[in-house]
Each structure stands twice: as structure tokens, then as C-alpha cells.
Amino acid sequence: MNALALIIGFLGGVATPLGWYGAYVFLLVAACCLGIFFRRKTAPYLLVSICMFGAFLGVCRIESARDELPAAYVSLLETPVSLEGKVIADPDIRETNVRLTILVAVGEERAKVLAVAPLFPEVHYGEVIRVTGTLTRPEPFDTDSGRTFRYDSFLAKDGIYLLMQNAALEVVSPRSGVLDEIRGFFSDVKFIGIDSLAVALPEPQASLASGLVLGGKQGLGNELLDDFIVTGLVHIVVLSGYNVMIVAEAVFRLFTLFAKRYAALMAAVVIAAFVLTAGAGAASIRAGIMAGVALFARASNRTYDAFRALMAAAVLMLIANPFLLVDDPGFQLSFVATLGLIFGTPILEKRLSTIRPTFLREIMASTIAAQISVLPLLLYQNGLLSLIALPANVIVLPVVPLAMAFSAIAGLAGFLVPAVATIVGLPAYALLALIIVLVEASAALPLAAVTVPAFPFFVVVIAYAVLGWGVWRLYPKAT
């Protein structure tokens, strides 16, 4: 309970923009409550003191991480410049361009630039390139649903304060250094895998396969991608925690023949490599950490507590980057969806006990739990209420593990034996085509999704308070 109070306080401190004065207030309240506890020996005062101290730590962490655009770059804004720097993230390849995160230097001042450039020449992680164009600051923009997307904050969470649209680029030198070579290796594996899938499968099946297995979705096209969004199935395309957990479960079973310690070590290496290859997004990192905790529990004969693992993953990620909590929609949705799975699935499984077979009941319970848990936040973020998300997820999700497995086989064939890759990829093609047909048919239904007008954030808080109260009342009865 004390640890939970500390974590809740830390999360609250990270999410509360009170500045250093707020941190001192939290510390003062923590000290006062601790003093009262020592005098009266009343447990609630200790919990409040621990929670307030956690909030103090959370505010300190986010305030110490705040940064701004270095002064040397301010004078370069809105003027044509030519900058040289290193690519420090996987190239984000889209249909018509590529987005590159580059660490550049002007004098002794370093800054990150997001450059939007042509697809060619090809650029790889760790290479030194020269980009030419006009530097601007990222700005918020209005979405079709009447929301404002804080694009500047979204990029700032990764320390990016500069944007260069329509950049011309030139590769200056290949990557060098041990760390860059290691990280670049995993990045290269990802794009080799995407190319291998393109050999074995036609479009858009190849792009869907790369989304399921490697997190690359550049060939899906805007129309099909919109269909995945409308049906509430976009999470399978962007390599969410769901995909990582499928891989983790497969790895667990693969290494069960080995001694527990060796199996846990090998499985941890495979999962870490998979997360790195997929680009190490927030949702996949969260799932990877939770899988690592599960491996440790198995190896040490300890009980695995999914909620504790989730909180440990969240705290570790926020210590590394506290801005994820407020400015990364992917982290937010992944976190609340996992909470829904942990606490909502047992409640719903009990109420769906008449459904047979068991695996269908489990899929329905977990799908409903995840959909309900993300709904308030999702409506606040994009205003899209999918009326067919639940049946679409129930129908499609059972196919995903098989589609991932056969897609991986097809990609391997495309790399090793391109001549017969198309034949080897037939099972993957059939499963992927089935997913696409189901998604397109679901999205084409009348009133498949409706747009909800924008509403203030306190409505989200109230919604989750009601959900939390319901879980608190029902969860003990389901376990």
C-alpha cells in the first residue's frame, strides 16, 4: 500500500504543472502529515505523507527535465539553412516522404530537428547527413473532429523543437561507433524485414504484415488506415503492446524446455531485440518491461502481479521521460488499456461464463474491457466513437496471432529464398486479406463511427472515477 501511494503521488506530480513552488508545497504537506503520524500513529496520515512525497518527486523530475530551444537556433528560424547532423531515430517512412530525427550542432549548441524529406536517397540510423531547408517551430493544429492537437508538445516530449519541411538531404558519412552500430543493426533488420515481406506478399497485405510484425505501415494508404481507425483496430497495425505480448507469449512457450533461468534470459533477449527492432515505441516498451517482469517472476518462482508490473513499467518510463504521461497519446492509451485488461477482464469473464468455447469468452472479455477503458480518453483525444469497434475486435483479434506467425515465415522466406517466397507466403496472404476484408466491410457499415463534439478534460476524470468505482465494487467478487 505504501508503494502504491508513492507511485500514485509520483504520477500525480508528473501530471501536475505546478512548478518548483508546487514541489515545495507537496514536500511541506508530506512533512506535516508525517509529523502528525508520529504523534497520533494514524495510518492514513502516513499514506498521505508518502503520496505527497511521491508528488514532490514527480514535480522535481518533470521540472528538472524541462528544456527549450537553444539560443543559437532562434536566429535561424524562418531562414534557409544547411545543417549537418546524425540520424538518431528510425526513419519514419510514409507514402510520399520520410521523417528523420537529426541531432545537429551549431557551435557548441546541440538540438534535434525533425526533417521531412523525399524518400530518396535512402537514409539509415546513425548516418551523418546534411539537410537543407527552412527551420520552423512545430505548431498545434486543428483536427477534423474539432480538437486541437498539440503537435509542438508531442514533439517536445522527445526534445524536438525544430521542424524542417521539404528538406533536401545528402548522406555525408556512414554510422560509426559501437552503440550506433548495435542500434543501427536492429533498425536495419526492421527495414530488411519490410523489404522481405514486400517480396513475399503484394500490397496492401505486405504493409499490413509489416505493421503487425515490425510496426511499419507506410504502404497501407490513408483510406485503409482510416478504416482501421474507424473500426478501432489501428492498435494492431502500429505495433502496440498487444502485438508485443503475442510475441512474448510465443517466446515463453518456445523456451519452456530449457531450465527456468536460461529460458528467462533467452526470452528476455528475444523480447528486447523485438522491441528495439520495432522502433521502441512507448506502448511496445511498456509491454516489453511487463514481459521482463513476468520472466523474472517465472525464473525466481515468484508470483507475477500484472498491476505491479504495469506500475513498475510506468514509473521506469516516466523517470526516463516524464513528458510521456501528458504529451504521448500512445503511452496514455496503452496504460489505461492495460489497466482495463487487468481489472476488467476477470469481472467480464465471470459475467460471460455461458459463452463457449473458453477462448472466445476470454477474447470477448478482454476486448470489451480494453475498449471500455480507453473510450473516455479516446473520445477526448480524437472524438471518434466507433460503434462497431467491439464486434470488429472480437472477430479480427483471434486471427492476428496466426497472421503474425505466418507473416514472419513469409518475411523469412522473402529474405532467404525469394524465388518461392510468394508460395510460402500464401497462408499469410489469406489471413491478411481476410483481416482487410473484415476491416473494410465493418468500416463501410452505416454509422460505423460518429464524431463526438469536443468536451473538457474534467469529463474524462469523472468518467474514470465512475469506472474506478465500478471496478472497486465488482472486482473482489470476480476473483
Encode pLDDT of 387-414 as tens digits: 898 889 888 988 988 999 999 999 999 9
Judgement on whether residues 456 and 407 belong to the same structural domain of the protein: yes
What would the mean pLDDT of 191-211 be, rounded to a whole number?
92
pLDDT digits (tens, 9 = 90+) for 270-328: 888 888 887 777 777 888 888 888 777 777 777 778 888 889 889 999 999 999 999 99
pLDDT digits (tens, 9 = 90+) for 22-41: 899 999 999 999 998 888 87
Of 46, 65, 84, which residue sits at a domain end? 65
3-state secondary structure (DSSP) of residue 77: strand
What would the mean pLDDT of 81-87 be, rounded to a whole number?
94
pLDDT band at 56 (very low <50, low <70, confident <90, very high): very high
Residue 221 has a pLDDT of 75
In this structure, is residue 181 part of a structural domain?
A: no
Of 14, 49, 65, which residue sits at a domain end? 65
Of 118, 142, 175, which residue sits at a domain end? 175
Q: Which domain holds residue 89?
A: 71-175
pLDDT at 341 over 80: yes
Residue 128 contacts residue 172 (beta carbons within 8 Å): yes
Degrees, nearest 5: CA angle 422-272-312? 135
In this structure, is residue 185 part of a structural domain?
A: no
Q: Which three cell numbers stand for residue 306?
A: 500484472
Residue 476 has a pLDDT of 65
Longest dimension (CA), the chain: 79
Mean pLDDT, the chain, whole residue set: 88
Judgement on whether residues 13 and 126 belong to the same structural domain of the protein: no
The predicted model scores a pTM of 0.86
Judgement on whether residues 160 and 198 belong to the same structural domain of the protein: no
Report the domain count for the chain: 3
In this structure, is residue 246 part of a structural domain?
A: yes
pLDDT at 219 over 70: no
Judgement on whether residues 19 and 97 belong to the same structural domain of the protein: no
In this structure, is residue 183 part of a structural domain?
A: no
CATH of the domain at 116: 2.40.50.140
- The pair phi, psi for residue 297, each rounded to 5°, is -65, -40
Judgement on whether residues 16 and 75 belong to the same structural domain of the protein: no
Judgement on whether residues 121 and 228 belong to the same structural domain of the protein: no
Least confident of 133-137, 344-348, 423-427: 344-348
Judgement on whether residues 122 and 55 belong to the same structural domain of the protein: no
Judgement on whether residues 16 and 42 belong to the same structural domain of the protein: yes
Judgement on whether residues 450 and 406 belong to the same structural domain of the protein: yes
Residue 132 contacts residue 151 (beta carbons within 8 Å): no
| CA distances for 47 relative to 50, 166, 420, angstroms | 5, 54, 64
In this structure, is residue 264 part of a structural domain?
A: yes
DSSP string, 98-161: EEEEEEEEETTEEEEEEEEE-S-S---TT-EEEEEEEEE----EE-TTS-EE-HHHHHHTTTEE
Q: In 10 A of CB 120, how many CB atoms?
A: 8
3-state secondary structure (DSSP) of residue 292: helix
- The pair phi, psi for residue 340, each rounded to 5°, is -60, -40
Residue 166's region, left for phi above 0, alpha for psi from -120 to 50, else beta, is left
